[in-house]
Amino acid sequence: MVISAQGNVHNLAVLLSGKPQVQKPITWRQFAQQDTVSFGKALEPRFEIPYSGPVVTKALKTSINAANPEWQGLKDMTSGENMFPTPKAFLSAFHSANRHYLNDFTGELQAKAVIAKAYSDDKTTIKPENVLISAGTYAAASNLFNAVKGDILIPAPSWYMFEPMVASSNKKHTWVAVSKENNYIPTPKTIQAAIQQAKAAGQDPKILALTNPHNPTGGQYTKQQCQEIADVCRKEGLTVISDEIYRNLLYPGTEFHSVRDFYPEGTMLISGPSKEASMPGWRIGWTIFPETNDGEALRDHLNRYQEGLGSMTNSPAQSALMNYFESSDIQEHVQRVTALHAQRMHTVQQGLTKLGLEVPKPDAGYFLYVDFEPLRPQLAKVGVKTSADLQQYLYEKKGIVAIAGSDMGLPKDSLGLRVGTSKLDAKNDASGEATFKRYAEAGFPAEGFVTPKTQPELFAFLDDMTAIVDELKK
């Protein structure tokens, strides 16, 4: 067996030595194309991971972490990390947990009870045993993709990690078309069309994977949209996997609705505190199963699956969850962080819209979907005809690195990008703390805080985008 890797931007020895070589930067796509692995007959991959978003993250983080001065100007707009401070009460609970032994692989019962109580309502009381705690929502989603029978329907655009998850579960997928008229949310018509397309291709579509609020637009599903999706999924016998990791980063004045509210017997809800509480490294996620016989059977199957993998969330993190939902200090902190994100995101959305780009107004989180379609004629003149071309163009012009629409399920010739704002003025713990401290010193104002003085990197990004668009329009 021979395994060889060739053509990395910096070879492993250089990276480990801490002595990076100063080289001319190349694009992430060039990097990905050079990073190859050749397998001997004794080791053959079971499947191919799609040429998708993880490559972006790998290339970008490799280049930045190499400490190459020529790479330090990159603007990482790909990140899904909330870089503002973790609630102090949560940190205190974690450090005082004194729980270092191995417990139930499916999650500690007390932590399950806390989650079940938080998600119960007047219509449904969730039993603690119908909660599975996993090492982050990524693990929760991946486990479901592997365990639930059938192929998968995914809205396009959608979270760029869904496609690699499908590949790793050895399933097939079909993209569900969406439109800006419906705020990029799938409709019964487009879901049924995707079902027919999947069946025509020899697939067995049984799962609809959703992000709610939607990633990459930040759009919230309306009550009517949830009802309509629930009705068609019930009619067609689809299981819904609803990734609701951003539900607690919903901006003030916006009401949350879930497909699970209307289709509880067929919806698996996955979520976790990492986004709103700025703790992605803690790896806490959960799955809530339907309160039905079928739901409990699937729960038992997933419990055995996770136990077999030997994967679980660390015990101190689970202990810290005990007061998470009921702590007024933690929830007040989350509300303030959310309010700051809302101001920042609306500022960027309005700024990009004024440039003539199509950017739906977000309701949650820190992602924007930016469509350059109005500038297609101008972009074509400089050789930009696809979202991958556009991605490279922004990188070469201003060091901006975003997620291409084609990595999120859109046609190759689309001109859409996912742009994340979470690392502007918060590229690490220290700068995130400093930005949030300025917000606190200003008294946590509901509006008017986001200015070039308080958020210089955010406005520098808008200045860069203005320069790019102005040059294209000349």
What is the predicted pLDDT for the residue at 259? 97
Give the mean pLDDT of 310-321. Answer: 81
Give the separation between CA 391 and CA 389, rounded to whole angstroms: 5
Lowest mean pLDDT among 8-12, 255-259, 379-383, 413-417: 8-12
For residue 424, what are the contacts with CB-CB under 8 A and spacing of at least 6? Answer: 75, 344, 455, 457, 458, 461
Give the mean pLDDT of 255-261. Answer: 95
What is the predicted pLDDT for the residue at 10? 31
Give the separation between CA 361 and CA 217, rounded to whole angstroms: 8
What is the predicted pLDDT for the residue at 167? 86
Give the mean pLDDT of 200-224. Answer: 96
Name, of 33-37, 98-102, 105-109, 307-311, the range with top average pLDDT: 105-109
Task: Count CB neighbours of 325 within 10 A.
Answer: 15
Q: Which two tokens stand for residue 282?
A: 């803690």
Higher-confidence residue: 395 or 204? 204
What is the predicted pLDDT for the residue at 113? 95
Band of pLDDT at residue 56, cut at 50, 70 and 90: low
Question: Which is nearest to 424 in space by CA: 387, 464, 389, 467?
Answer: 464
Pairing of strands 267-271, 285-288: antiparallel
Give the separation between CA 158 and CA 209, rounded to whole angstroms: 9
Contact between 277 and 86 under an 8 Å Cβ cutoff? The reply is yes
Lowest mean pLDDT among 143-147, 264-268, 415-419: 143-147
**DSSP secondary-structure letter at 265?**
G
pLDDT exceeds 50 at position 40: no
Contact between 84 and 435 under an 8 Å Cβ cutoff? The reply is yes
For residue 312, what are the contacts with CB-CB under 8 A and spacing of at least 6? Answer: 102, 103, 104, 105, 106, 107, 133, 134, 135, 306
pLDDT exceeds 70 at position 133: yes
Domain boundaries, the chain: 3-52, 88-323, 328-473
Single-letter amino acid code for the residue at 29:
R
Q: Which residues pair with 418 in a beta bridge?
A: 369, 403
Band of pLDDT at residue 220, cut at 50, 70 and 90: very high
Contact between 309 and 294 under an 8 Å Cβ cutoff? The reply is no
The overall average pLDDT reported for the chain is 84
Question: Which is nearest to 275 in space by CA: 247, 295, 312, 306?
Answer: 247
Q: Which two tokens stand for residue 402?
A: 């975003």
Give the mean pLDDT of 194-209. Answer: 97
Render 193-262 in DSSP notation, one character per residue. Answer: HHHHHHHHTT--EEEEEEESS-TTT-PPPPHHHHHHHHHHHHHHTPEEEEE-TTGGGBPTT-----GGGT
Give the mean pLDDT of 351-362. Answer: 97
Give the mean pLDDT of 259-288. Answer: 91
Lowest mean pLDDT among 69-73, 161-165, 273-277: 69-73
Q: Which residues pair with 209 in a beta bridge?
A: 241
Using DSSP's 3-state secondary structure scheme, residue 327 falls into: coil
pLDDT exceeds 60 at position 286: yes
What is the predicted pLDDT for the residue at 112? 94
Give the separation between CA 316 and CA 322, rounded to whole angstroms: 11
Measure the CA angle with vertex 458, ends 452 and 463; round to 5°.
80
Distance between first and last Cα of the chain: 57
Band of pLDDT at residue 61, cut at 50, 70 and 90: low
What is the predicted pLDDT for the residue at 429? 87
Band of pLDDT at residue 266, cut at 50, 70 and 90: very high
Percent of the chain with pLDDT over 90: 59
Domain covering 88-323, topology:
Aspartate Aminotransferase; domain 2 (3.40.640)
- Which one of 3.90.1150.10, 3.30.720.110, 3.40.50.2000, 3.40.50.300 gives the CATH number of domain 328-473? 3.90.1150.10
Band of pLDDT at residue 322, cut at 50, 70 and 90: confident
What is the predicted pLDDT for the residue at 235? 97
Give the separation between CA 15 and CA 411, rounded to whole angstroms: 36
Give the separation between CA 462 and CA 125, rounded to whole angstroms: 46
In sign, the C-alpha dihedral spanning 407, 411, 412, 416 is: negative
Band of pLDDT at residue 23, cut at 50, 70 and 90: very low
Band of pLDDT at residue 48, cut at 50, 70 and 90: low
